[in-house]
Amino acid sequence: MPDTVHVLNGPNLNLLGTREPEVYGHATIADVEAACRAACARHRLDMVFRQSNHEGELVTFLQEARGSRGVVLNAAAYTHTSVAIADAIKAVGLIVVEVHLSNVFAREAFRHHSYVSPVARGVICGLGIEGYRLAIDALATAGGRIS
């Protein structure tokens, strides 16, 4: 499993392509998965791709990623509300790159705070699905040891 990247997506990301395309773009969750698979393939990495609308399920996914190269996490709205997700990241000692499709700092004030950022190794926001590829590249080229 050390050559596996987990790409985890939170609530409402299953609606990509139809949900507020002016904010999130026209790419679907299938497009995100395809881009992530291509990025992992370039680095000869395996990938686990998951999406859930349920906070507890995302916590379980994080726990199941233990021992992997790292996690690309778009926790979506849970970024701004979930101590449980932050605690799960700390508990399992994962290398996490936090990703957001939109620039959260150009949006509502409540989106400016992240419970994930303090326990993530890095944060990428506002670059659309390209942010996922950049996160995978970072995990791959740093050998899972982003500092």
Question: Would you name the residues annotated as active-site residues?
Answer: 24, 100
The answer to the question of whether 111 is labelled as a binding residue is yes
Q: Residue 87 annotated as binding?
A: yes
Q: Is 114 annotated as a binding residue?
A: no
| 14 CB-near residues (< 8 Å, 6+ apart) | 29, 51, 53
By CB neighbour count within 10 A (0-12 exposed, 13-18 middle, 19+ buried), where does 97 fall? Answer: buried
Ligand-binding site membership of 74 (annotated): yes
> Is residue 80 part of an annotated ligand binding site?
yes
**Alpha carbon distance 3, 97 (integer Å):** 16
Which amino acids are annotated as binding site for substrate, given as ranges? 74, 80, 87, 101-102, 111
Which amino acids are annotated as binding site, given as ranges? 74, 80, 87, 101-102, 111
